[in-house]
Amino acid sequence: MSRSEELFERAKKVLPGGVNSPVRAFRAVGGSPRFVVKGLGSHILDEDGLEYIDYIGSWGPMVLGHSHPDILKAVYDRMVNGLSFGAPTALEIEMAEKMISMVPNIEMVRMVNSGTEAVMSALRLARGATGRDKIIKFEGCYHGHSDSMLVGAGSGALTQGEPDSKGVTKGAAQDTLMAQYNDLASVERLLDANLGQVAAVIVEPVAANMGVVPPKNGFLQGLRDLCDKHGALLIFDEVITGFRLAAGGAQEYFGVRADLVTFGKIIGGGMPVGAYAGSRALMEQVAPCGPVYQAGTLSGNPVAMAAGLAQLQILTDHPEVYTVMETSAQYIANHLRASAEKHGVKMQVNQVGSLLCPYFTDTPVDCFAAAKTSDTKKYAKYFNEMLLRGVYLAPSQFEAMFVSSAHTQKDLAFTVQAADESLAAL
């Protein structure tokens, strides 16, 4: 038994499924999760001394790779002065000012501790500000695990959603309406059927929790127009895309304005941070300025702020990282397509910026239904072949491959060679 396997057996006795977040458990791909000892740049090392090129990057936060010296130094320098006060610190202002300087159309920020919290709070604000109850979300988009977002399309999808998890009440689900990604008509139907009742449309500007699904030309602008027509707010959930697609996130990358934006992952530099942001008029609805209550004991935690701020500073000091990452992701995508063709494997590779995903299907993937046509058994095999060769991919078809600025030419060449061999072995 490997050390990771031993640890997993032990973990299963005290942690549900042996993990603290479900996808880590490798259930979709089989085998035993690797227990990580450390990470440096694009590489991670597991308990058995095996080294991998990491394309998860903590599911997005490690956009500059692991253990970036500037970020570690910022954390050390800050932590020696105390870990948390529950009182304001200057760092929180610096963080908000930094975000506002980077991201278009935001004037004020509220820090929280996770993406889930950011979305949950932004939805409350949207409801509070509009006086409306209903929210439109898209099938296959993930917005964290708050009750109203764990909803699937029910039979009465035109009017209300169905709980997608045990423990979510019908009451929490009934105000969530489900539309189809990249299908403006599906949004318009919901808005028309629920006139004057929709507080917000929430969307991942690039859907990155059903693999990677880019928005079609005009889709995001179409949402903007529909929201304006119906007096609903447009929320970009940029927990993945924020500071990743561009310094200003998807609003900058696609040139479409959102009313509220949620952040997580990259914003903490590897520490647990989330945030939501918008215009002054909207954000001043939040307590203690306004009637929408939201709070947090550890929100704006100084050590977490130090890590996040250091990461954002590096991203602004080195804007070239965005082209570097995009070029790297394109390189992998092109080689995957060529290898798939060479070995007769049916594959679609979607790529936007530093995000990409190979689907084992003939069907172009532009929505959740299309993503589900992928042969997930093939993905599982591919995943395990890659792992054997030292490339650590997401243990599920329906997750992105995250390229960081730390991936070197050598890493990329190694990766596409491993992929070529893995696809040949399918």
Sites of contact with ligand PLP (CB under 6 A): 114-116, 119, 142-144, 204, 209, 237, 239-240, 264, 274
Q: Does residue 30 contact residue 384 with C-beta atoms inside 8 Å?
A: yes
Minimum CB distance to ligand PLP smaller for 382 or for 398: 398
**What is the CB neighbour count within 10 angstroms for residue 207?**
31
**Both tokens of residue 105?**
């159309």
Single out the catalytic residue among 55, 142, 322, 392: 142
Q: Does residue 175 contact residue 103 with C-beta atoms inside 8 Å?
A: no
Note if 381 is an active site residue.
Answer: no
Closest approach of ligand PLP to the CB of residue 344, in Å = 33
Minimum CB distance to ligand PLP smaller for 141 or for 418: 141
Closest approach of ligand PLP to the CB of residue 405, in Å = 20
Closest approach of ligand PLP to the CB of residue 139, in Å = 14
Q: How far apart are CA 254 and CA 216, in angstroms?
A: 11
Single out the catalytic residue among 265, 372, 378, 381: 265
List the beta strands (DSSP E) in 30-168.
Answer: 36-40, 43-46, 51-54, 108-112, 134-138, 151-152, 162-163
Q: Does residue 245 contact residue 253 with C-beta atoms inside 8 Å?
A: yes
Single out the catalytic residue among 46, 54, 183, 237: 237
Closest approach of ligand PLP to the CB of residue 4, in Å = 23
> Comparing C-alpha atoms, which of 230, 232, 205, 312 is closest to residue 268?
312
User: Which amino acid is it at 318?
Assistant: H
Note if 142 is an active site residue.
Answer: yes
Q: How far apart are CA 382 and CA 422, in angstroms?
A: 6
Helix (H, G, I), strand (E, B) or coil at 183: coil
Helix, strand, coil distribution of the chain in percent, nearest 5: 40, 15, 40
Phi, psi of 350 (to 5 degrees): -100, 140
**Both tokens of residue 209?**
């929790």
* Residue in the shown chain whose Cβ atom is closest to ligand PLP: 115
Minimum CB distance to ligand PLP smaller for 23 or for 108: 23
**Both tokens of residue 72?**
């570690």
Closest approach of ligand PLP to the CB of residue 319, in Å = 23
Would the CA dihedral through 375, 376, 380, 382 be positive or negative?
Answer: positive
Closest approach of ligand PLP to the CB of residue 66, in Å = 18
Q: How far apart are CA 68 and CA 90, in angstroms?
A: 23
Note if 70 is an active site residue.
Answer: no
Closest approach of ligand PLP to the CB of residue 138, in Å = 11
Minimum CB distance to ligand PLP smaller for 27 or for 145: 145
- For residue 291, say if its preceding peptide bond is cis, omega within 30 degrees of 0: no
**Both tokens of residue 161?**
């959603």
**Both tokens of residue 288?**
């203690």
Minimum CB distance to ligand PLP smaller for 2 or for 146: 146
List the beta strands (DSSP E) in 317-397.
Answer: 348-352, 355-359, 391-392
Minimum CB distance to ligand PLP smaller for 23 or for 418: 23
Minimum CB distance to ligand PLP smaller for 333 or for 394: 394
**What is the CB neighbour count within 10 angstroms for residue 284?**
14
Closest approach of ligand PLP to the CB of residue 295, in Å = 17
| Segment (H or E) for 263 | strand 260-263
Paired with 401 in beta bridges are 356
Minimum CB distance to ligand PLP smaller for 194 or for 301: 301
Could you list the active site residues? 142, 237, 265
